[in-house]
Amino acid sequence: MPSRPKSRPGQQALITDPDRRRRLGASFSTDTSMQEAWRYDAVRPRYPREVVARMLALSPAAHPVVADLGAGTGILTRALLEHGADVHAVEPSIAMTEVLAARSAERLQNQTSPRLQVHRTTAEATGLEEASCDVVVAAQAWHWFDDALVQQEVRRILRPGGVLAVVANYVDTSVPWVHRLTRIMRAGDVYRPGWTPAVDPALFGAWTTQETRWERAITPEEIRTLSTTLSSWLLADGPARKRRRANLDWYLDEHLELSPGEPVQLPYLTVLHTSVLPGPT
């Protein structure tokens, strides 16, 4: 049985090599095609409603203004809009923001006010006004940012009493067959017990971490597609992709004996880290 993901010291960056972080991050930003962006949006997991409600409830604002950093195709953006927030979606990828705008328009057809603004820029330089946001959230994205620069930017745009939230969906590797699946898919983004985002304590308060377990119905075909949205796949060459696809086919079809088109319950763990800034004095 493969070893479980090792615990990681709190405040240790998930990607410590800046060059590697930029290279992996580029697979989702400058290198993403429209086809890849639509595929990403179709198969990536959503966020449980109670998790979204929890992060927004920490803000004292009745209708919070939220900056969604690294918004991607807007999977969290749409959930925030559904919960009544006004959203600044910050995302540098042209393809990702095209999908974000198209998918979010479905939620805003009957709205008269601009509840969504899309900013095609980076999390480290949002261009938003100082103290303009009640909540700043990074969903599945914090590890792509420059630690020092993004912290300064978040602190700049958050209002006193505002909330920094870092949230991520992880497949639950405490389940043996799922853990082996992540090894075959080369899914490096797995939950490390005890880890919290690296932040300067002079800028942010202590983290509160909450875990939510849930299951998602997904077909073997969708698992295969999901594997092609990972950065490890996007950066792999042709032979590496061929080997990984063959291994995944064997695992799903022969070892697990999953039936084509038949959904299986894939367990997930959604982890929410929140830090509330001091309020006005």
Q: What is the pLDDT of residues 90-135, one digit of tens each?
A: 999 999 999 999 999 876 765 645 699 999 999 999 999 999 999 9
Q: Answer with the residue of higher pLDDT: 21 or 219.
A: 219
pTM equals 0.87
At residue 5, the pLDDT reads: 47
At residue 190, the pLDDT reads: 80
At residue 172, the pLDDT reads: 95
Confidence of residue 23 (pLDDT cuts 50, 70, 90): very low
Confidence of residue 29 (pLDDT cuts 50, 70, 90): low
- pLDDT tens-digit map of 209-260: 999 999 999 999 999 999 999 988 988 999 999 999 999 999 999 999 999 9
- Dihedral pair phi/psi, residue 158, rounded to 5°: -80, 140
Q: Answer with the residue of higher pLDDT: 281 or 162.
A: 162
